[in-house]
Structure 1
Amino acid sequence: MAEEKDVNGVLLYYKYANVPDLNALHNFYNSNCQSLRLLGRVRLAPHGVNVTVGGKLSCLEEHIAAVKLINLFDGTDFKLASCQDFQSNDNIVKECGFNSLSIRLVKELVTFSSCPLVKSPLLSNAGKHLSAAEFNTILQSAGSVENDVPTNRSRVLLLDARNVYETRIGKFQTPNVETLDPKIRQYSDLSTWIDCHSERLQGTKVLMYCTGGIRCEMASAYIRSKGAGFENVYQLFGGIQRYMEQFPDGGFFKGKNFVFDHRKQLLLNFADFPQIVEEHRD
């Protein structure tokens, strides 16, 4: 057991909530991560936190325990993955940000739009969360579940909220359910894609997904903000990672989940995918 705790791991989590004291939270992360020798990226905004850090599994578990003591993080979904070999690949370490600790105060956890005229939508209007099991049931029946979730009365569409270097290596593929791949190079391009394809989304049941869930929060709220015909937007809670934990054989997800697969191992050798590395730097 001690040896298992000594292996490397990666922790991802986010929380949308009003942060009463950003400086105090910044000090907490700086002190906690340094004392536990965690490396990675921490982004703090007035409306929440987005964290991706790596280190020893035992240290990551200590970090989770400390974060849970802060009321702000009630209900947070902590995604902890063991990956014994992630430090053995310098390219992976660099691209994932695990060669240093970066804690920054930002205006937005994820930059929703590069256009200054586009206002970020209200997160209270985000699409309804679906568990991995609910999401899978919808796909199995090509659009039919009970209790105020998509039915056969409207066509079901899958919308991938990730970037092209992610969708290129894996995505949901389901018979009778179309998967819309915006093929964007950066998340801030998604709002423009939604504006240009709103006619395809209107009047349908939109099931959104991304790697861990954070990108769907803002994007689903933006779609719903368009009004009549855009109310039925749903998002996969916990993203592809939680889905693949629930369905280890991959379920309806075909290919690879950038950066981790369902065995909690880093699956990409970036040297084998130079075009992905180049796009990821953008």
Structure 2
Amino acid sequence: MRFKSNELEERYGIPVLVYEPDRYHAKAVSEEIRDGEQRRFQTRTTQVIGTAAEHAAAERKILREADPASQISVASAEQPDWENDVPLYHYKTTEKAENMQSRKAPINVVFDWCNSNIVQSDMRSGEYGGKWKQPAPVGKNDRYINVDGDVQSNDAHVMNSVGACPWTQFHMRLYDLSLENAHAVGQAHKDPCTHNIGTPIAEWKFALSRGNVVDWWSDPEAPVKTEVVDVGNNGPNWDTHDGKIGYIYAES
């Protein structure tokens, strides 16, 4: 993929930005493409262009303007350092995460009391609510976050099939941060049956999916409290994201 603009040359000294090709599992591609009858399919996207330093500064600005800490009803010592610790987006490849460009999806859940393996285990087993389970096998593509310049892939997944199509599911990728008040973050969304390959774009239902996760952890038996915090990480690609994160923290 190539993007050309005179404004790029004026700001960065190069007129063309080249992206690495996107890769897809064969099962996620339509039968016409697998059989060679169709060679192309189209998808809609919007790019946010800048250097890694500019993107990092943009995330800090987003959080400063949103001031999420003022909206949480717990003592300040118990909150994550929102501006410096919590990544706002994940990316499709390591290269895109390194450059902090082509934001794939917004981070919309933060856990401050356990790591991703515990989240995965509890939700799959139904420890505090219904079991999150995915009966039909489906490829689990990795995604990546950038934390202070260090790129890491997701550490765990939880998926919950809903509806007649077994591949229509709530899906949350989890990343360990191992910070005092932000042990893990999640990117929750609702996968359409075809994962938007070879069909018109379907919304990923970010806010609905975040609410599904928060509601699960709101069970009276769960040893946690939940809040929804406005951090302002909206984007033009995400009509169903409201810029908010579900904050799930240990009950004192």
Q: Same fold (TM over 0.5)?
A: no
Question: How does the TM-score come out when normalised to structure 2?
Answer: 0.27
Higher helix share: 1
Q: Name the TM-score, length of structure 1 as normaliser.
A: 0.25
Q: Which has the higher strand share?
A: 2
